[in-house]
């Protein structure tokens, strides 16, 4: 199936590891020009070199995403080199455990890291997206739907991402710009590996989590999330907008009585 992504210019924030790596690799495999935005230059350069050697076109642009000036400059540099932007993937974010006890300043900082930076990037890409009739894919979290406990900032941010997905889809429809959100649940990323390793019985805890995922009792892979993002961004999803797609093996919405047998 030709997804018509060859030579399309795709910005992926936080695209060097975890879910972002899966997204970057999936776009590169389809022939897209991947431009990763991130704040670790050495890590970005190494990832891009690996991706270029194995799959194709990739570049890295340094940007601390909470610094609007850096975001603006990275967008301008991308446009100067490639002349267009076709897809923006808002992937970067962190479940930072900013809870009710953390205080208002910590909460504001969490929103900056997980929500405001997404608005800033799309704002500065908007003219280019209008020119290309491109699209936006936001990466959300099940936490916006289920809650988690102890992470007010992240939960509020991801709820905001869902709201912006619907708002932007409506706001930009007249420009031919599609906006969708892909939501993973339990994915074995490096960050998740570190978290599970800190649990009292990591092996038992991981098994309990997997047992609660209805489809095949396993975690979602970064490749599965990446492929879903690429499909939603492609011309094969040309009349899909404002949708919130859960790529989670049924984890988020199925009756818990059926997942804890």
> For position 193, what pLDDT does the model report?
84
Average pLDDT over residues 95-99: 93
> For position 261, what pLDDT does the model report?
53
Residue 257 has pLDDT above 70, yes or no: no
Task: Name the pTM for this structure.
Answer: 0.94
Residue 255 has pLDDT above 80, yes or no: no
Q: Which two tokens stand for residue 184?
A: 């993973």
Average pLDDT over residues 153-168: 97
Domains of the chain: 9-187+221-253 (3.40.50.720)
> For position 55, what pLDDT does the model report?
75
154, 192, 246, 251: which is the annotated catalytic residue? 154
> For position 135, what pLDDT does the model report?
97
Question: What rounded mean pLDDT belongs to the chain?
Answer: 94
Rounded Cα distance between 247 and 244, Å, is 10
Q: Report CA-CA distances (Å) from 98 to 130, 143, 191.
A: 36, 13, 17
3-state secondary structure the chain: CCCCCCCCEEEEECCCCHHHHHHHHHHHHCCCEEEEEECCHHHHHHHHHHHHHHCCCEEEEECCCCCHHHHHHHHHHHHHHHCCCCEEEECCCCCCCCCCCCCHHHHHHHHHHHHHHHHHHHHHHHHHHHHHCCEEEEECCCHHHHCCCCCHHHHHHHHHHHHHHHHHHHHCHHHCCEEEEEEECCECCHHHHHHHHCCCCHHHHHHHHHHCCCCCCCCECHHHHHHHHHHHHCHHHCCCCCCEEEECCCCCCCCHHHCCC
Rounded Cα distance between 131 and 116, Å, is 24
> For position 260, what pLDDT does the model report?
58
> For position 190, what pLDDT does the model report?
82
Average pLDDT over residues 134-156: 94
Rounded Cα distance between 16 and 43, Å, is 7
User: Would you call 154 a catalytic residue per the annotation?
Assistant: yes
10 Å Cβ neighbour count for 145?
17
> For position 98, what pLDDT does the model report?
93
Assign 43 a pLDDT band (cuts: 50, 70, 90): very high
In tens, the pLDDT along 192-251 reads 888 788 888 889 989 988 988 899 989 999 999 999 999 999 999 999 999 999 999 998
Residue 256 has pLDDT above 90, yes or no: no
């Amino acid at each position: 199936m030709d997804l018509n992504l060859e030579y399309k210019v795709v910005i992926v924030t936080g695209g060097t590891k975890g879910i972002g790596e899966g997204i970057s690799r999936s776009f590169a495999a389809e022939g897209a020009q991947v431009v990763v935005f991130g704040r670790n230059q050495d890590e970005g350069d190494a990832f891009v070199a690996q991706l270029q050697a194995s799959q194709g076109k990739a570049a890295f642009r340094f940007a601390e995403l909470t610094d609007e000036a850096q975001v603006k400059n990275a967008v301008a540099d991308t446009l100067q080199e490639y002349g267009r932007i076709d897809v923006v993937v808002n992937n970067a974010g962190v479940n930072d455990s900013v809870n009710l006890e953390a205080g208002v300043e910590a909460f504001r900082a969490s929103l900056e890291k997980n929500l405001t930076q997404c608005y800033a990037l799309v704002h500065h890409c908007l003219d280019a997206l209008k020119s290309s009739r491109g699209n936006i894919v936001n990466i959300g979290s099940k936490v916006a739907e289920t809650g988690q406990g102890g992470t007010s900032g992240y939960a509020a941010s991801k709820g905001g991402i869902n709201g912006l997905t619907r708002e932007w889809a409506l706001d930009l429809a007249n420009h031919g710009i599609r906006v969708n959100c892909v939501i993973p649940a339990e994915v074995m990323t490096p960050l998740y590996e570190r978290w599970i390793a800190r649990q009292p019985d990591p092996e038992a805890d991981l098994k309990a989590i997997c047992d609660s995922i209805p489809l095949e009792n396993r975690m979602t892979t970064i490749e599965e999330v990446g492929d879903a993002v690429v499909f939603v961004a492609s011309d094969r999803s040309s009349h899909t907008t404002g949708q919130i797609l859960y790529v989670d093996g049924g984890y988020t919405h199925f009756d818990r009585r059926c997942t804890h047998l």
